[in-house]
């Protein structure tokens, strides 16, 4: 695909070459994310960050990524503080905001809403999550993390094995990630969920049509055997009809150090799109894993910044200019040391 000026709505837009190019740009931008260098390549550009659903990582890391390239960020974080609350359509909001900004990131609770918004926007729109449908930038940073973690263990994505655990029905991060994995060769995917929260058929079909091995499990221990990556997810309580319905699933699959030691191969990487539910009744990824060196969740969040910087640089066509506007950082920063 041509990234320049494009909306980024779904991972269906990418082929393997696109992913390779994006990750090359992300690697080149890492010194800027680590605060070794500073660039002002997007000085004067404005990002509208529109988040109509709760968000910490996606909202802040998109904002930081834009700032790190020298641009300014305007945020709207609630429907009630925008004119949508007065009955304004997505179409009109898009027409207006695209007059104020150079690029828009949008999260919205309805599936397909970001695509609808994008059709009326005069500037590129990046999907920050549309209901239970897709979360493309999360999948890209997850895949970037998978690639880095596997490489550090002398492995490649082709032929690797992953167990995806938890709410696979409503988890949009999982839907996007699984579709991206289908672009690689001979991946083995264990889909591990409670009955009732299985992966949608259309997502499974993408993997099967690509010739990948898909195994469905309803038992946690059996499902997490013989994999390189364990990708755990949260029960998406906001997508259930009531909190009581979500409670039926909460805490059914808890991964802790003892379960990990008993069932996983010693070097299995642990990932999670976050937030992990740390309430007593949930604890899907226990705190006792915090000292496990294979816990990659904070390397994953750090990777979110470079991958989102790469998306902006490619969509706004400044990849070749980043270094022209660069200089060393002069202030003290602990970020020069990679996080654990
Ligand atoms: N942060 C991710 C999302 O927005 C995962 C989650 O919320 O569970 O989809």
Q: Provide the pLDDT for residue 162.
A: 98
Q: Kindly give the number of the ligand 1 atom that is closest to the alpha carbon of 138.
A: 2
- Percent of the chain clearing pLDDT 90 (strictly above): 87
State whether the beta carbon of 128 lies less than 6 angstroms from ligand 1: no
Can you tell me the distance from the alpha carbon of 140 to that of 304, in angstroms, rounded to the nearest whole number? 8
State whether the beta carbon of 276 lies less than 6 angstroms from ligand 1: no
Calculated CA dihedral for residues 164, 169, 175, 179, nearest 10 degrees = 80
Q: Write out the two tokens for 162.
A: 């992953």
Cα of 191 from ligand 1 centre, angstroms: 18
pLDDT band for position 325 (50/70/90)? confident
Of the candidates 212, 215, 217, the one whose C-alpha atom is nearest the C-alpha of residue 179 is 212
Q: Is the pLDDT of residue 290 over 60?
A: yes
Mean of the pLDDT values across residues 311-318? 98
Q: For ligand 1, atom 8, which residue shows the shortest CA distance?
A: 234
Cα of 101 from ligand 1 centre, angstroms: 26
Q: Provide the pLDDT for residue 230.
A: 98
- How much is the pTM? 0.95
Contacts for 28 with CB less than 8 Å, ≥ 6 apart: 322
State whether the beta carbon of 273 lies less than 6 angstroms from ligand 1: yes
Contacts for 141 with CB less than 8 Å, ≥ 6 apart: 300, 303, 304, 307, 308
Q: Write out the two tokens for 108.
A: 């919205």
Mean of the pLDDT values across residues 113-132? 97
Q: Is the pLDDT of residue 340 over 60?
A: no
Q: For ligand 1, atom 3, which residue shows the shortest CA distance?
A: 173
Cα of 13 from ligand 1 centre, angstroms: 21
State whether the beta carbon of 172 lies less than 6 angstroms from ligand 1: yes
State whether the beta carbon of 175 lies less than 6 angstroms from ligand 1: no
Q: Is the pLDDT of residue 285 over 60?
A: yes
State whether the beta carbon of 124 lies less than 6 angstroms from ligand 1: no
pLDDT band for position 76 (50/70/90)? confident
Mean pLDDT score across all residues of the chain? 94
Q: Kindly give the number of the ligand 1 atom that is closest to the alpha carbon of 236.
A: 8
Q: Kindly give the number of the ligand 1 atom that is closest to the alpha carbon of 57.
A: 1
Mean of the pLDDT values across residues 141-170? 97
Can you tell me the distance from the alpha carbon of 174 to that of 169, in angstroms, rounded to the nearest whole number? 9
Mean of the pLDDT values across residues 115-119? 97
């Amino acid at each position: 695909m041509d990234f320049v000026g494009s909306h980024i709505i779904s991972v269906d837009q990418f082929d393997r070459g696109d992913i390779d190019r994006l990750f090359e740009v992300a690697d080149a931008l890492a010194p800027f994310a680590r605060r070794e260098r500073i660039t002002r390549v997007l000085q004067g550009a404005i990002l509208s960050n529109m988040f109509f659903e709760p968000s910490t990582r996606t909202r802040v890391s998109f904002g930081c990524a834009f700032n790190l390239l020298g641009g300014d960020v305007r945020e709207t974080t609630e429907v009630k503080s925008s004119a949508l609350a007065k009955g304004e359509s997505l179409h009109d909001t898009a027409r207006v905001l695209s007059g104020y900004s150079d690029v828009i990131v949008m999260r919205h609770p309805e599936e397909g809403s970001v695509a609808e918004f994008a059709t009326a926007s005069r500037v590129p729109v990046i999907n920050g999550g549309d209901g239970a449908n897709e979360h493309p930038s999360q999948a890209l940073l997850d895949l970037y993390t998978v690639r880095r973690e596997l490489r550090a263990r002398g492995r490649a994505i082709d032929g690797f094995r992953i167990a995806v655990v938890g709410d696979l029905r409503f988890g949009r991060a999982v839907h996007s990630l699984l579709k991206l994995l289908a672009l690689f060769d001979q991946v083995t995917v264990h889909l591990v969920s409670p009955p009732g929260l299985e992966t949608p058929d259309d997502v499974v079909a993408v993997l099967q049509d690509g010739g990948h091995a898909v195994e469905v499990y309803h038992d946690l221990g059996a499902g997490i055997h013989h994999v390189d990556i364990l990708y755990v997810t949260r029960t998406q309580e906001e997508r259930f009809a009531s909190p009581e319905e979500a409670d039926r699933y909460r805490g059914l699959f808890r991964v802790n150090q003892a379960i990990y030691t008993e069932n996983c191969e010693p070097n299995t990487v642990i990932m999670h799109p976050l937030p992990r539910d740390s309430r007593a009744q949930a604890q899907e990824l226990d705190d006792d894993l915090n000292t496990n060196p294979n816990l990659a969740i904070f390397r994953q969040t750090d990777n979110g910044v470079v991958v989102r910087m790469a998306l902006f640089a490619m969509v706004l066509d400044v990849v070749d200019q980043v270094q022209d506007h660069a200089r060393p950082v002069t202030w003290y920063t602990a970020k020069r040391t990679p996080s654990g």
